Amino acid sequence: MFREWLWGYSCSWLPFVVSGAITTKGGLSQWLRNRYRRGHPIPLPIKNEKIMRIDNIPTGDNPPESLNVIIEVPTGGEPVKYEFDKASGALFVDRILHTPMRYPANYGFVPHTLSPDGDPLDALVIARSPFIPGCVVKARPIGVLNLEDEHGGDEKLVCVPVDTTFPYYSDVGETKDLPSIIMQQIEHFFTHYKDLEAEKWVRVGKWGDRAEARQIVIEAIERAKKS
């Protein structure tokens, strides 16, 4: 899917890459391909390989109860806003945040939905692990943070992985079941992440419960169908 994504590999690989490339016929690219095909964890693009098609990813197994969330930014990720280009399936750098803030949760969107601002419905997936950009996480909504920015209403779903993915949150039915610091961090992030960016602003509204979150999903799905 994103085999060019060299996620999580440190510079400690560099000496091995250089030495391998020097001694391999075909150079660096052939050496890397050989390692990948032998089962070594260095992903590479394969010739004529199909890219990810967002249109082929369903909204979820059972929306609005269970959703697919396409991750764009991992939890704790650098202050870089990534966005998928629907036409090409490529992950673009939308912008670098002017504030040195890290994302408080895995951040992405729900496919085949449409928010009032014209973008797919944004979603945060609370998890103990960061998910790489481009992966799809099965999650269930437990609440929503209502925001307004320079483009209009901008709801942020708050989700947790479904139990079959990770049962750690099986007892979490609403955002109130999470430690309060998590919700405070999310609210603080979205209150300030556009600070220092000219002509951009955010107003944080009220938290909505699971029922409101599910209704927002239903409306976003219907809005996408009519678009």
Q: pTM of the entire structure?
A: 0.76
Q: Which two tokens stand for residue 70?
A: 């396409």
Residues 75 and 147 in one domain: yes
Q: pLDDT value at position 163?
A: 97
CATH number of 139's domain: 3.90.80.10
The total domain count for the chain is 2
| Structural domain ending residue among the three candidates 49, 69, 85 | 49
- The answer on 203 and 132 residing in a single domain is yes
Same-domain check for residues 41 and 102 = no
CB within 8 Å of 72: residues ≥ 6 apart: 81, 82, 83, 84, 91, 107, 108, 109, 133
Q: Print the domain residue range for 150.
A: 54-226
| Vertex 61: Cα angle to 74 and 84 (nearest 5) | 35
Residues 108 and 209 in one domain: yes
74 with 96, same domain: the answer is: yes
**How many Å apart are CA 130 and CA 133, to the nearest integer?**
9
Classify residue 210 by burial, with Cβ atoms within 10 Å: 0-12, 13-18, 19+. Answer: buried
Does residue 23 sit in the same domain as residue 77? no
222 and 173 together in one domain: yes
Query: Is the backbone of residue 8 left (phi > 0), alpha (psi -120 to 50) or beta?
Result: left
Tokens coding 45: 């693009």
pLDDT value at residue 121: 97
pLDDT tens for each residue of 4-51: 333 343 333 333 443 444 444 555 555 455 544 555 444 555 556 566
